[in-house]
Amino acid sequence: MAEWLESGIAELWGGRSFRLPRCAHDRKPDGSWSAWGSDWAADVHIIETSGTASGASFTAHEMIDERTPGEPIEGLGWSGRLEVLTEQDGDRPVFRMAAACGATNTLMSLYVSYLREDQYTFARSVVDSVEHRVPSPV
């Protein structure tokens, strides 16, 4: 069931968070998370692993395959790739900013979809606000 996120930080899981304006949001049965406003949506998938077969951790760069399309980006505690796509929804274009954000043993896919090309700055600010903080051991 959808809940309201007041303007501020969307705290997810696996140490991930990012900033969004006031919006509805929901965690889906498949484990993904979505938020939406009147003319945009954000969809998140987070995959966590315990590391390699030898027990070593995967680095942020190893979590992102070199074949992942887009320009290199990075933020607090992660690095990744960013691609902007234009798709058709019936007779209108929909713009989608696709970010793959890798951190130690964690991969986050973030898609920000928007209806107008001038919303690029908004979508980019969402991606740029992504943080990955590893909890301190107790």
Give the model confidence (pLDDT) of 68-95 as tens digits: 889 999 999 999 999 999 999 999 999 9
Residue 50, exposed/middle/buried by CB under 10 A (0-12, 13-18, 19+)?
exposed
Distant-in-sequence, close-in-space partners of 105: CB < 8 Å, separation ≥ 6: 48, 49, 50, 51, 57, 58, 63
pTM here?
A: 0.90
- Reduced to 3 states (helix: H, G, I; strand: E, B; else coil), residue 93 is strand
pLDDT class of 135 with cuts at 50, 70, 90: low
**Comparing 83 with 134, which gets the higher pLDDT?**
83
Model pLDDT, residue 6:
83
Q: Which domains does the chain have, with CATH numbers?
A: 3-132 (2.60.120.1690)
Nearest Cα neighbor of 44 from 30, 26, 32 is 32
Model pLDDT, residue 138:
57
Q: Provide the β-strand partners of residue 48.
A: 106
Model pLDDT, residue 79:
94
Average pLDDT estimate for 121-128: 98
Structure-token pair, residue 87: 């798709």
Q: Report H helices in 5-119.
A: 60-63
pLDDT class of 137 with cuts at 50, 70, 90: low
Give the model confidence (pLDDT) of 5-45 as tens digits: 987 899 998 889 999 999 999 999 988 999 999 999 999 99
